[in-house]
Amino acid sequence: MTPSNKQSEPAHPAQTLEYPGDESRMQEQPHDEMADYKGSGLLAGKVAFITGADSGIGRAVAVAFAKEGADVAVAYLEEHGDAERTRTLVEAEGRRCLLLPGDLADPQHCRGLVSDVAKEFSRIDILVNNAAFQAPVEEPAELTLEQWQHTFAVNVTAAFLLTQATLAHMPDGGAVINTCSVTGLRGSKSLLDYSATKGALIALTYSLAQALIDRRIRVNAVAPGPVWTPLIPATFGSEKVQSFGTDTPMGRSAHPDEIAPSYVFLASERLSSYYTGEVLAPVGGQTMPG
């Protein structure tokens, strides 16, 4: 069921979770299983590698891709129960699913992930760099160098290393999709490092799109506004969680199921063969700069 556009406050339960967030413990479950989505074979026979696909946007994308006919490799940090649920959903569609836990802040792990996926499936047709780290601060003075470096390691460096390694296993005509954010387009006073990484990832998307044009590898991004995922109660205080998304013109946050079709569009050559270096921004009616 499609959520209504206006909700009375509070929008979400005042719950906080230990990072990185266990979806099964959320009082309000995100809609991220694409239950009413009907595939049409747009990705039949393809292999997709998705980071951060244990829950939230990544899970919804993994299930949507499976419903379109793709086998899926899922990278995640340590949320084993959530990842197993994703695998169950993918396999229910008759597709194969490989689970790969570990920390993307480790460059060696990033390269090893790609090798593992290629060994299992022999190729990678679609790469979705979706995993991300965020930790809000009250003021710039609170942001430590260690946090800044970690956020860039997970959100930007890992995306580049995974893309770089994947290219050796990606046929011409493949697709890379980066999960960016509305904060990369307009900034955020409490998510300084996160916003900076998402802006960098948008620039990387533009640059890789130009660099890979001769191989017909399309590189695009999705930059959502507020989306209800485990990351929200795991990184924000209860007051922020309660009002999360109410500042959008639609008056609510999105569910992952509403965002995942953007990834299907960008992954399918049939639908988006003339799209590269583009940023889709499902932001609930917010006006973007520029």
User: Mind telling me the catalytic residues?
Assistant: 194
The C-alpha atoms of residue 116 and residue 114 are separated, in whole angstroms, by: 5
What one-letter code names the amino acid at 156? Answer: V
Q: What angle do CA 83, 66, 228 make, to 5 degrees?
A: 55
What one-letter code names the amino acid at 269? Answer: E
Q: Are 125 and 170 in contact (CB under 8 A)?
A: yes
Six-digit token string for 15? 């719950």
Positive/negative CA dihedral, 194, 196, 202, 206: negative
The C-alpha atoms of residue 146 and residue 80 are separated, in whole angstroms, by: 26
Q: Are 252 and 242 in contact (CB under 8 A)?
A: no
